[in-house]
A and B are shown apart, each in its own frame.
Chain A
Amino acid sequence: MIDKLEKMTAGLKVDYYDIRYETKQVQRVQMNKKEIRICDANTGDGYVLRVLHKGALASVTFTRPEQAEAAIKKAVENAEILAANGATPKQPAPAPVVIDTIKAGLIEDPRNISLAEKKELTQAYSDLLFAQPKIANVDITYADVYRNKFFLNSEGSKINEELVTTMLYGGITAQDGALTQPVRLSFGGSDGFQRVRNREQDALKQAKIAADLLKAEPVKAGTYKMILNPSMTGVFTHEAFGHFSEADIVRDLPSVRDKMKLGTKLGVDELNIIDDATIPNQLGYYRYDDEGVAVRKVNLMTNGVLTGRLHDRFTAAEMGEAISGHSIAEDFCYAPIVRMGCIFIQPGQYSLEELLAALEDGLYIGDPMGGQTTGENFTFGAQYGYIVKNGKLAGMIRDINLVGNLYKTLLSVSMIGKDFELKEVGGCGKGQTNIRSCHGGPHVLVNELTVGGK
């Protein structure tokens, strides 16, 4: 395929170009209330061309090889239009030339499992969950995504990398009369089909939470001292902090640049935040980004001080910082943008028991149910939680929404747990969906966050 890409771009006379062709095979089984709604296996493919011409960077996506000539013409025209109209000149930061082939590291390859077996597995989870007390509905989806990416650039890099993502996710709804309570489940990862096998106990735990929520009290609105569980810690780290570590966002928001200047102390001394997509076997693993740059571990915050940022080659050059390999596209329909790989708060030294003892009275906040930010403000839903009294989990609470401010919260972290969990199914939606966006962390005690409710 690399040969075809070379032929396709042979006549291209520009300062720099890169072209990515990829195939994407998706197998899905989706069930809604015990019925199959989707069961298919499909392949899509397409091309993304970027050209740097007269100092301007333009991209074109196209789906058929016979469109290549028109796409090249359009990309060059777009670059010329940008240059002629005073677009800020761009250049890529220097990056090593790479020639490499990366096969997906899989324990059990989902491509070797039949669609019928995937359907049986999905049905088995659905049946198991429906058999539990008070469970009124189960929506469950199995999916595996195989991306085979071929990357070529004008500097001589030629990379073929495979990425395989396996996931099983859905919603479980418990019902008692007019009251219903949903809880989510999600298993999966980047290292194979075994991630979704034998997870019955995890599924049952979620069903029990849903049923228990029917007896839970709605949380009372107010400001609380609280412990965030690892999953909620991960959402906070990703949504509230992580996006402000993405260089394109900082670049596009001049007023944020000062606040997010490297060297600025924004968090408490104990707080270390890292993005490390190189950790093997976690959801966000990859070797090269969609600019052909090897991804590296980035210490984003060290002892509360901003120490790093996530870059593509162009933001790195513009800001005079080191490339990091974080230019990622959802698939062949998109040009890459700066994305997190695997972001987390580094574990501290305290057990959950020690955090609960230090909390005394407050809230324990469980798994997230969505999250959103506008600027430094964030709102996260939680699937469940508990009131904490005298350092012990007391009654379960429901209908929890957290609202807060990034900068205040970073300074409000008081203790960091020594446990550590990473998310198994991703779905960051920064313009494009990144199903391998991974986040997590330990339990964290926060001195003050606002909870909405009655």
Chain B
Amino acid sequence: MEKLLKIAAANAEQADLYYTESSSDSIIFNDGKLEKADSSLSSGLSLRIIKNQRAGFAHTRNLLDPQALVKQAILSSENGVEAKYQLPHNVQAQEKVVYDPQVEQLDKNELIQKGNELIGYVKARTDAQFDLSMWYGIGKSGLKNTNGADLSRIGSSFGIFAQMVFPGTGSGLYTHQSGVSPCWISNEELDELIALYDVCQTQIVPPTGKMPVIFHPQSMHTLLWRVVEALNPANILSGISPLCNREGQKIFSEKFTYRQNPEDTELSSATAFDDEGTPTRVLYFIENGVFKAIPMDLFYAKKLGKEPTGNGFRSGIESMPGTSVFNTIIDPGTKSLKEMIASIDHGLIVYSLMGSALRKHRKWRILCGCVQRSIDPNGKPIGRVKDCMLSGTSTTACKTSWISKTSLTIWEDARCRPCFWTGSA
């Protein structure tokens, strides 16, 4: 790699080299039966060069000819991605903040045994189809550039996903846990899932019209996709984001604060540097309803005339850095989910959104067809809503009445809280 960077330095003003090596395993139970145990070993590197203020990019999984890779990157730069930014200087670190060595010691046989116990627990209580999957792995990555940056990180991850499928469909209720260390689904969580599954055997047809809606963390996370798209500097630069030229304005409810915290090591994206070598930072995107900050990588920071925020990440070796938010959190409110449910006469709890990615970010419109629980006048769920469409905008949803004080980790890198909203069904 040193040789490659040296060749790149001789042919360009600046260059950086990003490399990864990972191993991962997965176990899948389908309908309570062990179905799959697969593995993956993966590695590769990508090279970005900056020449004549243009960036070039090349990647490979098997570095056989460093000279050829540099040539590829130069060809790419000749065709021109503007790059008037400086790669970070002299940042050096070895990160191990999201790494748990226990993940490397996991025994597949033991995990299968634990999975079988979990399946046994569920099967003793319900005859529902129960699917279970687990995945875990170790990932190493590093960044070196011609300005003296030398960063490396090692990370571990573990996830478990359990789903009870509604008969005759492919949809169901699910719960999951994930993080840096091995984690598990508790019997209490399964009990809750089973109880909800039982309630869902009753199908409800809600009246058409406006009604209170509670977004469970799982669906709130999806709802936030529209907000994340609006925060994307590419959409702000294009003038098609509804947040364009609105920094400092109050757009959402004052109860809504949405931020990223790179130091939250319980979330597996915690990191002190992004994939370009820029230090990450706590960033309040929306604070008490006010639009505060745009996440930015080096490219968009230069384009927008601002400082990079350490949000330049790569989805793999095949992609140039792009702006991503990570380790995101909605700050807690004052009510528990139970209190939120108890506070309304009738309404919907949205557990999962279907088709919410369809609409257009400029309007943050959401329309979805999968709403899971209806609440009776006494504050208890009474059944599952099927074939239902919920219509509204993310802006409206984020002008939320309450945000729950409880939280749930969503996948590896975001925490969401149940939100309450009035919409139409």
Q: Which residues of A contact B36 (CB under 8 A)?
A: 57-58, 82, 87
Cβ of B80 under 8 Å from chain A? yes
Asked, given contacts A63-B42, A137-B239, whether A252 binds B31 with beta carbons under 8 Å apart, the answer is yes
Cβ of B367 under 8 Å from chain A? yes
Q: Which residues of A contact B116 (CB under 8 A)?
A: 85
CB < 8 Å neighbour of A377 from B40, B169, B365 = B169
Q: Mark B16-37, 1 if CB is under 8 A from A, else 0.
A: 0000000000000011011111
Contact B168 A372 (CB under 8 A): no
Shortest beta-carbon distance, A57 to chain B, in Å?
Answer: 8
Q: Mark A358-382, 1 if CB is under 8 A from B, else 0.
A: 0000000000011111111111110
Asked, given contacts A36-B79, A253-B165, A377-B169, whether A42 binds B59 with beta carbons under 8 Å apart, the answer is yes
Q: Which residues of B contact A243 (CB under 8 A)?
A: 170
Cβ of A33 under 8 Å from chain B? yes
Q: Mark A234-269, 1 if CB is under 8 A from B, else 0.
A: 000000000110000100111110010000000000
Q: Which residues of B contact A405 (CB under 8 A)?
A: 387
A379 to B370, CA, bound (A): 9
Q: Mark A158-197, 1 if CB is under 8 A from B, else 0.
A: 0000000000000001010000111000000000000000
Contact B58 A63 (CB under 8 A): no
Contact A32 B370 (CB under 8 A): no
Chain B: CB-nearest residue to A71: B41
Cβ of A45 under 8 Å from chain B? yes
Q: Which residues of A contact B75 (CB under 8 A)?
A: 41, 115
Contact A381 B354 (CB under 8 A): no
Chain A: CB-nearest residue to B208: A221
Asked, given contacts A64-B62, A403-B387, whether A249 binds B367 with beta carbons under 8 Å apart, the answer is no
Shortest beta-carbon distance, A170 to chain B, in Å?
Answer: 12
CB < 8 Å neighbour of A249 from B81, B170, B355, B389 = B170
A453 to B365, CA, bound (A): 10
A333 to B79, CA, bound (A): 29
Q: Which residues of A contact B369 (CB under 8 A)?
A: 377-379, 403
Cβ of B379 under 8 Å from chain A? no
Contact B386 A377 (CB under 8 A): yes
| Complex interface: stretch among B145-153, B285-293, B356-364 | B356-364
Q: What's the count of A-B pairs with C-beta under 8 Å?
A: 240
Residues of B in contact (CB 8 Å), total 72
Q: Which residues of B contact A181 (CB under 8 A)?
A: 360
Chain B: CB-nearest residue to A335: B38
A41 to B112, CA, bound (A): 43
Q: Which residues of A contact B352 (CB under 8 A)?
A: 374
Q: Mark B239-282, 1 if CB is under 8 A from A, else 0.
A: 11000000000000000000000000000000000000000000
Shortest beta-carbon distance, B352 to chain A, in Å?
Answer: 8
Chain B: CB-nearest residue to A375: B169
Contact A381 B165 (CB under 8 A): no
Contact B41 A454 (CB under 8 A): no
CB < 8 Å neighbour of B37 from A78, A374, A404 = A78
Cβ of A141 under 8 Å from chain B? no
Q: Which residues of A contact B109 (CB under 8 A)?
A: 81, 84-85
Cβ of B7 under 8 Å from chain A? no
Contact B318 A42 (CB under 8 A): yes
Q: Which residues of B contact A39 (CB under 8 A)?
A: 76, 79-81
Q: Which of A435-454 contact B (CB under 8 A)?
A: 450, 452-454
A370 to B391, CA, bound (A): 17
Cβ of B411 under 8 Å from chain A? no
Cβ of A390 under 8 Å from chain B? no
Q: Which residues of B contact A378 (CB under 8 A)?
A: 355, 369
Shortest beta-carbon distance, A160 to chain B, in Å?
Answer: 19
Chain A: CB-nearest residue to B43: A63
Shortest beta-carbon distance, B355 to chain A, in Å?
Answer: 3
Cβ of A113 under 8 Å from chain B? no
Q: Mark B62-88, 1 if CB is under 8 A from A, else 0.
A: 100000000011011011111000000
Q: Which of B78-134 contact A (CB under 8 A)?
A: 78-82, 108-109, 112-113, 116, 129, 131
Asked, given contacts A86-B34, A379-B367, whether A115 binds B79 with beta carbons under 8 Å apart, the answer is yes
A74 to B41, CA, bound (A): 10
A121 to B387, CA, bound (A): 44
Residues of A in contact (CB 8 Å), total 85
A452 to B393, CA, bound (A): 13
CB < 8 Å neighbour of B389 from A78, A87, A379 = A379
A243 to B171, CA, bound (A): 13
Contact B358 A369 (CB under 8 A): yes
Interface centre among A46, A116, A259, A454, by most chain B C-beta atoms within 10 angstroms, is A46
A39 to B77, CA, bound (A): 8
Chain A: CB-nearest residue to B352: A374
Contact B41 A63 (CB under 8 A): yes
Contact A375 B171 (CB under 8 A): yes
Contact A42 B60 (CB under 8 A): yes
Contact A452 B391 (CB under 8 A): yes
Q: Which of A10-45 contact B (CB under 8 A)?
A: 26, 29, 32-33, 35-45
A405 to B320, CA, bound (A): 40
Cβ of B237 under 8 Å from chain A? yes
Cβ of A346 under 8 Å from chain B? no
Contact B39 A85 (CB under 8 A): no
Q: Which residues of B contact A254 (CB under 8 A)?
A: 31, 129
Contact B38 A60 (CB under 8 A): yes
Q: Which residues of A contact B167 (CB under 8 A)?
A: 255
Q: Which residues of B contact A58 (CB under 8 A)?
A: 36-39
| Interface, chain B (partner A; CB < 8 A) | 30-31, 33-44, 56-62, 72-73, 75-76, 78-82, 108-109, 112-113, 116, 129, 131, 165-171, 208, 234, 237-240, 318, 320, 352, 354-355, 357-360, 362-363, 365, 367-370, 386-391
Closest 9 CB pairs of A and B: A375-B169, A379-B355, A381-B358, A374-B171, A375-B170, A375-B171, A401-B367, A370-B358, A39-B79
Query: Known pairs A42-B72, A44-B60, A63-B44. 16 more at Cβ < 8 A?
Result: A32-B238, A70-B41, A88-B33, A116-B78, A137-B238, A173-B238, A180-B240, A180-B362, A253-B165, A253-B170, A254-B129, A370-B357, A376-B170, A377-B370, A401-B367, A453-B391
| Interface, chain A (partner B; CB < 8 A) | 26, 29, 32-33, 35-46, 56-65, 67, 70-71, 74-75, 78-79, 81-82, 84-88, 115-116, 119, 136-137, 139, 173, 175, 180-182, 221, 243-244, 249, 252-256, 259, 333, 335, 369-381, 399, 401, 403-405, 450, 452-454
Q: Offer 17 A-B interface pairs, CB within 8 angstroms, sorted by A.
A: A78-B39, A82-B37, A87-B36, A88-B35, A115-B79, A173-B362, A182-B362, A253-B170, A335-B38, A377-B171, A379-B354, A401-B367, A403-B388, A405-B387, A450-B389, A452-B367, A452-B390
